Amino acid sequence: MKDTNANPGPDRTVTIDVISDAVCPWCFLGKRKLAAALDLSGDIGAEIRWRPYQLDATIPPEGMRRVDYLTRKFGPERVGQMNTRLIEAGRETGIAFAFDRIERSPNTLDAHRLIRWAQPTGVQDAVVERLFKLYFEEGADIGDREILAGVAADHGFDRAMARRMLDAETDKDAVREEIAVARRMGVNGVPFFIFNGKYALSGAQPPEIIAGAIKKALTETAAGR
């Protein structure tokens, strides 16, 4: 992705809110497609803000065995078909999905808390990328607070402080409320992109479609519409 911290000026910058879950493979693909869309968008800059969503908030805090969870939810045949489709889509976007490495389906509330804390320091996109890679390419349990504290430390946080904040339940209610707001807006699947607070696009759409939405948002906002 091109440097979204570059400053093309406010009249050439689009705010993009990405509603996403850290265990959603289509959200990982959507992140790659958004990066490609920004590359297609020339001198248009972007302020990207990652917003929380939970595909399944009923997963217990300690997580569940992934094979049991997915088999019960989708059935073994459908799981295999989905994985095959995703692995192929991943190859096209530089993602090495390794579903066979994933042992746990985590509850992602803690991961979203960390993503929230990363926004003010400008490392939110990098934290999101690392969480996606840890889960989908390395098979790590991103519901494990020690793993999350390690991600925090790798992105400029004090590890001990991050662990204390996780254990102290900091911002749990705030994250839950953001998720509730998304649902009240009608978001029932992710990724979900909102451009300049006005225009929405659902799903991991092709880069050309996302680039078109970016340009439309910029043009119509500039025109006062």
Q: Which residues pair with 18 in a beta bridge?
A: 50, 193
- The residues spanned by each domain of the chain are 10-55+107-222
- Find the mean pLDDT for residues 161-180: 97
**pLDDT tens profile 18-65:** 999 999 999 999 999 999 999 999 999 999 999 999 999 999 999 999
State the average pLDDT over residues 178-191.
97
Are 120 and 114 contacting, i.e. CB atoms less than 8 angstroms apart?
no
**3-class secondary-structure state, position 90:** helix
* Summary mean pLDDT of the chain: 94
Chain segment 79-93, per-residue pLDDT in tens: 999 999 999 999 999
Is the CATH number 3.40.30.10 carried by domain 10-55+107-222? yes
pLDDT of residue 8: 63
Does the pTM exceed 0.85? yes
List CB contacts of 52: < 8 A, sequence separation 6 or more: 19, 20, 21, 108, 112, 115, 116, 175, 178, 179, 182
